[in-house]
Amino acid sequence: MASTSSFDVVSRYDRQEVINALDQTRREIITRYDLKDSRTTLDLEGDRITITTDGDYRLQTVRDLMEGKMVRRGVSLKALRYDEPEPASGGNVRQHADLVQGIEQDLGKQITKAIRDEYPKVQAQIQGDSLRVTAKSKDDLQNVIQLLKGKDYPVDLQFVNYR
């Protein structure tokens, strides 16, 4: 009897890399001429980043700067969910960005359906906020990984625990 192989499909971000990217962004804000006296702050509380600055233009500049630092550190921008900018005290503008992990139930169903439609011999099961994909053939599993990499999902997918 042939043994089965499997891997997990997850959506995670490296928290330490997010912290490092925010630290780099803060350092650059202090040294950049156009942002030096802008009273800009970046705070990370739990899974929520708060950007506070003194105008919409500077808010967009800080967002672009932060996103660039995150991309260079390997954090996908699909992990960020921005709220609408809101007025803050002292004429400032504040915007929150939530860091999202895990695959939601609806998206998990879409992914399992895509796998079933393309590869009927491969089983995909939703396990909380991740998926377990199993098959007898490792080639089928490699093909499933390529299929999922080729699709554009609203979250960044990683493939772990390949056995």
- Domain coverage including residue 26: 15-99
Closest CA to 49 of 77, 27, 72: 77
Question: Cα–chain-centroid distance for residue 4?
Answer: 30
On whether both 116 and 95 belong to a single domain, the answer is: no
CATH code for the domain of 112: 3.30.70.860
Question: What is the domain count for the chain?
Answer: 2
- The DSSP annotation for 30-94 comes to HH-TTTTTS--EEEEETTEEEEEESSHHHHHHHHHHHHHHHHHTT--GGGEEEPPPEE-GGG-EE
Q: What pLDDT sits at residue 99?
A: 93
CATH code for the domain of 72: 3.30.70.990
* 138: its two tokens: 């490792």
Q: What pLDDT sits at residue 2?
A: 55
Strands 93-99 and 80-82: antiparallel
Domain boundary among 99, 119, 136: 99
Q: What pLDDT sits at residue 1?
A: 39
The string of pLDDT tens digits covering residues 85-103 is 998 888 889 999 999 999 9
Q: What pLDDT sits at residue 75?
A: 92
On whether both 95 and 75 belong to a single domain, the answer is: yes
On whether both 31 and 84 belong to a single domain, the answer is: yes
Domain boundary among 99, 117, 151: 99
Q: What pLDDT sits at residue 61?
A: 92
Instruction: Tell me the pLDDT of the chain (163 aa) as tens digits.
Output: 358 888 999 999 999 999 999 999 999 999 988 888 888 889 999 999 999 998 889 999 999 999 999 999 999 999 999 999 998 888 889 999 999 999 999 999 999 999 999 989 899 999 988 999 999 988 989 999 999 999 889 998 888 887 8
